[in-house]
Amino acid sequence: MGGAGALVFLFVFPKGSISTLVHVLHLPGPGAGIVLIFGPFLILVVITSSLLILARGGALIASLTFAVTYTLAVRLFGIATDPKGAFGSISFIAAVTLFGLVAEAIIALGGALSQLFRSVLTGALANAVLLVFYWLVIFPRTVGWVRWKDIPLLMGICLIGGLVAGYIAWRVSGPLCRVIKQKE
Amino acid sequence: MCGLVDFEALQTCITRLAALLVAGISGYAVCKAISFYRERNLKRERQEEEVLSPLPCGLAVRDSGERSNS
pLDDT tens figures, B51-70: 877 655 555 455 544 444 44
Average pLDDT of chain A is: 89
Instruction: List CB contacts of A18: < 8 A, sequence separation 6 or more.
Output: A33, A37, A38, A82, A85, B1
From the list A82, A80, A77, the residue with the least C-alpha distance to A21 is: A82
Residue A128 lies inside a defined structural domain of this protein:
yes
Residue A2 lies inside a defined structural domain of this protein:
no
State phi, psi for A182 to the nearest 5 degrees.
-60, -40
pLDDT of residue A43 exceeding 90: yes
Q: What one-letter code names the amino acid at B31?
A: C
Taking CA atoms, A38 is separated from A18, A181, B39, in Å, by 9, 30, 39
Average pLDDT (A91-118) is: 90
Residue A5 lies inside a defined structural domain of this protein:
no
Domain hosting residue A38, numbered range: 28-183
pLDDT of B26 reads: 94
Residue A127 lies inside a defined structural domain of this protein:
yes
Q: Report the C-alpha gap between A84 and B64 in whole angstroms.
A: 82
**Whole-prediction pTM:** 0.81
Q: Which residue of B has its CA nearest to A28?
A: B2
* Residues across chain A: 184
Residue A19 lies inside a defined structural domain of this protein:
no
pLDDT in tens, B14-38: 999 999 999 989 998 998 899 889 9
Structural domains in chain A (count): 1
In terms of phi and psi (left: phi > 0; alpha: psi -120 to 50; beta: otherwise), the region of B12 is alpha
Q: Which of B3, B6, B13 sits opposite A12 (nearest CB)?
A: B13
Residue A54 lies inside a defined structural domain of this protein:
yes
Taking an 8 Å Cβ-Cβ cutoff, which residues of chain B contact chain A?
1-10, 12-13, 16-17, 20, 31, 35
CB neighbour class for A118 (10 Å; exposed up to 12, middle 13-18, buried from 19) = buried
**What ipTM score was computed for the predicted complex, to two decimals?**
0.75
Q: Chain centroid to CA A4: how far?
A: 14
Residue A22 lies inside a defined structural domain of this protein:
no
**Cβ-based contacts of A24 with chain B (< 8 Å):** 10
Residue A6 lies inside a defined structural domain of this protein:
no
From the list A163, A58, A161, A62, the residue with the least C-alpha distance to A121 is: A163
Using only C-alpha atoms, chain A has a radius of gyration, in whole angstroms, of: 16
pLDDT of B1 reads: 45
